[in-house]
């Protein structure tokens, strides 16, 4: 990405991701409170017309210094319906899925505080084979942990319309003081694994914006900032990488709207 484009993107990030606070966690950039994402220019109204319907989508082209085109699309819908070669599943540390009906996330879901569960949707669509493969993966520590925050592992896709599932552990907004950096690292791990798999298309949800309660604005900031940095690295590498199209599957209307607004602020039409 050229210096001019990078400076413009940084200015937009600072304007749209300043002093957001939720569930006791706070992120600060620039030191001063700015206007929220609700204060939109009139030119973005046409995007709102597509955002109110499941299946609506908007697309952008990420500029790269090697002149290759990386197509970014945002689709309002479930990630289990994506037709990409690799899909990302936001997992937990033990890769067991959110199947414990006595767990915190189910209690919150019943009370309406959890909006979506991409991991559960992918496991349901993939069938029991995905859960069995996750169970057979060797742990990385004595307590049975299989993922650390920011780490990703790959399995087959089983009944999904994909070749691979990239399982990643994002941070929880309730705990880590460096949550934004950890979330960027989680997205970067997904892009790097997709590159190693030599896939040309990748689908991701809004990592950590469901059960782990990240504000959508912070999720979009982390996703696009890590994508920008990874793209620079890929452009500098020999061949530029195989990844040509990235889809963000966003079931929640608020997530879709926020991601699309920030993408438009960074990359334009």
Task: Please tell me the predicted confidence (pLDDT) of residue 53.
Answer: 52
E strand map for 4-69? 20-22, 25-27, 57-62
Task: Please tell me the predicted confidence (pLDDT) of residue 212.
Answer: 82
Kindly state whether residue 191 falls inside one of the protein's structural domains.
yes
Tokens found for residue 186: 């989680």
Task: Please tell me the predicted confidence (pLDDT) of residue 96.
Answer: 87
Kindly state whether residue 26 falls inside one of the protein's structural domains.
no
Kindly state whether residue 85 falls inside one of the protein's structural domains.
yes
Distance CA 39, CA 100 (A): 40
Kindly state whether residue 73 falls inside one of the protein's structural domains.
yes
Kindly state whether residue 99 falls inside one of the protein's structural domains.
yes
Domain that holds residue 125: 3-18+52-267
- Our count of domains for the chain comes to 1
Task: Show pLDDT as tens, one digit a residue, over the chain (269 residues).
Answer: 555 555 555 555 444 433 332 222 333 333 333 344 444 444 444 444 544 455 678 898 887 777 788 999 999 989 999 999 999 999 999 998 754 434 444 445 444 444 457 888 899 899 999 999 999 999 999 999 999 999 999 999 999 999 999 999 999 876 655 588 999 999 999 999 999 999 999 999 999 988 788 889 999 999 999 999 999 888 888 766 789 999 999 988 889 989 998 998 888 75
| Of 72, 79, 250, 248, the residue nearest 160 (C-alpha) | 79
Kindly state whether residue 41 falls inside one of the protein's structural domains.
no
Kindly state whether residue 230 falls inside one of the protein's structural domains.
yes
Task: Please tell me the predicted confidence (pLDDT) of residue 178.
Answer: 57
Residue 232's CATH number: 3.40.220.10
Kindly state whether residue 47 falls inside one of the protein's structural domains.
no
């Amino acid at each position: 990405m050229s210096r001019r484009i990078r400076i413009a993107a940084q200015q937009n990030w600072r304007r749209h991701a300043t002093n957001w606070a939720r569930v006791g966690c706070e992120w600060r950039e620039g030191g001063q409170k700015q206007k929220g994402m609700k204060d939109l220019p009139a030119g973005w109204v046409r995007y709102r017309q597509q955002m109110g319907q499941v299946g609506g989508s908007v697309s952008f082209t990420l500029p790269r210094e090697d002149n290759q085109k990386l197509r970014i699309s945002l689709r309002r819908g479930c990630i289990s319906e994506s037709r990409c070669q690799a899909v990302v599943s936001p997992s937990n540390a033990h890769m067991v899925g959110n199947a414990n009906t006595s767990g915190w996330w189910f209690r919150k879901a019943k009370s309406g505080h959890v909006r979506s569960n991409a991991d559960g949707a992918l496991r349901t669509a993939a069938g029991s084979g995905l859960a069995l493969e996750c169970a057979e993966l060797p742990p990385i520590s004595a307590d049975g942990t299989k993922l650390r925050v920011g780490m990703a592992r790959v399995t087959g896709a089983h009944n999904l319309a994909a070749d691979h599932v990239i399982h990643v552990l994002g941070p929880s907004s309730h705990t880590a003081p460096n949550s934004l950096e950890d979330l960027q690292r989680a997205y970067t791990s997904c892009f790097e694994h997709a590159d190693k798999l030599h896939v040309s298309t990748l689908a991701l949800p809004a990592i950590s914006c469901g059960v782990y309660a990240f504000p959508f604005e912070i999720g979009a900031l982390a996703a696009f900032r890590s994508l920008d940095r990874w793209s620079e690295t890929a452009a500098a590498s020999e061949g530029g990488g195989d990844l040509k199209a990235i889809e963000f599957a966003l079931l929640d209307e608020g997530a879709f709207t926020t991601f699309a607004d920030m993408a438009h602020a960074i990359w334009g039409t």
